[in-house]
Amino acid sequence: MNLPLLPRLNFPLQSAATLIELYIKASLATDKRFTGWSLSDRDPQVIEALLPFFGWIYQNYFRVKTDGWEHIPADTKVLLIGSHNGGLAAPDTVMMTYDWCRKFGAARPVYALMEPKMWQVFPGVARLAAQVGAIQARPQMAIVALQQGASVLIYPGGVQDVFRPYALRHQIHFCDRLGFVKLALEENVPIIPLISYGAHSTLVVLADLYPQLEQLHRAGLPWPFGLDPGVFPIYLGLPWGLAVGPWPNIPLPVSLHTRVCPAIVFERYGHEAARDRDYVYRCYQQVVTTMQSQLDHLVQTEEASLSD
């Protein structure tokens, strides 16, 4: 794990103040605003206002290396499929969103499916994220976005992926969720895989206690906050030290390498292809196998450079 001292560079206080102001406004918004159910929640002006802060984080905190952006066509919608890491902070997701805006401009629409429970548990964060392009992780929202010509970002592994144990940090972990494949087939869009190295070292997930918690729930123990968390990790990370549960975290300043991989195009598309269960699963396996191969290569390259 590479944890150099944080460079003593001028922190963008004004940009941080802008982020805090926008967060407060989002937190105070009514429940009917920025719900993730409308594509019009995305606001390029809000995105532009946030870019200086995240640009500093990109350059000085995570010291991001990135490549492969030439695989995204300049004027065609795509389905971005990623493996994300690092707990609820998901630094690779945030940094790749920054790269998208830096390379294509805030006006080019991209929408990211986000867990609906975020609007219940962290409403301020969710409402601000909606202004950046987060939408409810529901099939109809992805379909509407694609049909309006926007690109869509999906992390099929969900919270199980982002909180997978540290020992699995270099594995694609999509939990046999096939919905994104059906979406690509129905809407006839290529899949662009997104991978990263380093983000799952910004915290260390030791284990997942969800199976034990689920047994206790079946025996009568209520879920925390009345919501099924889907995962219940034990992890080492800031600010808690040792955390039990899917609590928000401050990522450690680990250098990240993000990569956009070549497009995956299937043999056939359309409604009939999306209804063919065997074909859908073969396409799913093609995506996972391809992404795992790409991730293995990235890990090998990065770890070889660390040993030099």
Strand partners for 195: 259
How many CB atoms within 10 Å of residue 152? 27
pLDDT of residue 198: 97
- Residue 170 CA to residue 197 CA, distance in Å, equals 8
Query: pLDDT per residue over 27-42, tens digit each?
Result: 999 989 999 999 999 9
The predicted model gives 172-181 an average pLDDT of 97
Query: pLDDT per residue over 53-108, tens digit each?
Result: 999 999 999 999 999 999 999 989 999 999 999 999 999 999 999 999 999 999 99
Question: Mean pLDDT, the chain, as a whole number?
Answer: 95
pLDDT of residue 9: 57
Amino acid at 29: A
Task: State yes or no: pLDDT of 2 exceeds 50.
Answer: no
Q: What percent of the chain stands above pLDDT 70? A: 96
How many alpha carbons lie under 13 Å from residue 302 in its C-beta half-sphere?
A: 22
How many CB atoms within 10 Å of residue 236? 15
The predicted model gives 209-221 an average pLDDT of 95
Contacts of 34 (CB under 8 A, 6+ apart): 26, 41, 126, 127, 128, 130, 131
User: Do residues 183 and 142 touch, judged by C-beta distance below 8 A?
Assistant: yes
Strand partners for 153: 80, 112
Least reliable range by pLDDT among 9-13, 137-141, 182-186, 187-191: 9-13
Place 308 in a pLDDT band, splitting at 50, 70 and 90.
low
Task: State yes or no: pLDDT of 292 exceeds 70.
Answer: yes
pLDDT of residue 5: 44
Chain centre distance of CA 105 = 19
Token pair 């001292």 is found at 5
The predicted model gives 10-33 an average pLDDT of 92
The predicted model gives 265-276 an average pLDDT of 97
Query: What is the three-state SS of 186-212?
Result: HHCCCEEEEEEECHHHCCEEEEECHHH
Amino acid at 254: V
How many CB atoms within 10 Å of residue 13? 9
Q: How far apart, in Å, do the first and last CA atoms of the chain sit?
A: 15
Query: pLDDT per residue over 107-149, tens digit each?
Result: 999 999 999 999 999 999 999 999 999 999 999 999 999 999 9
Task: State yes or no: pLDDT of 233 exceeds 80.
Answer: yes
Task: State yes or no: pLDDT of 4 exceeds 80.
Answer: no
Task: State yes or no: pLDDT of 224 exceeds 90.
Answer: no
- 245's torsion region: left (phi>0), alpha (psi -120 to 50) or beta? left
Strands lying side by side in the sheet with 241-244: 204-208, 233-237, 241-244
Query: pLDDT per residue over 149-165, tens digit each?
Result: 999 999 999 999 999 99
pLDDT of residue 12: 81
pTM value surpassing 0.85: yes
Task: State yes or no: pLDDT of 226 exceeds 60.
Answer: yes
pLDDT of residue 11: 76
Q: What percent of the chain stands above pLDDT 90? A: 92
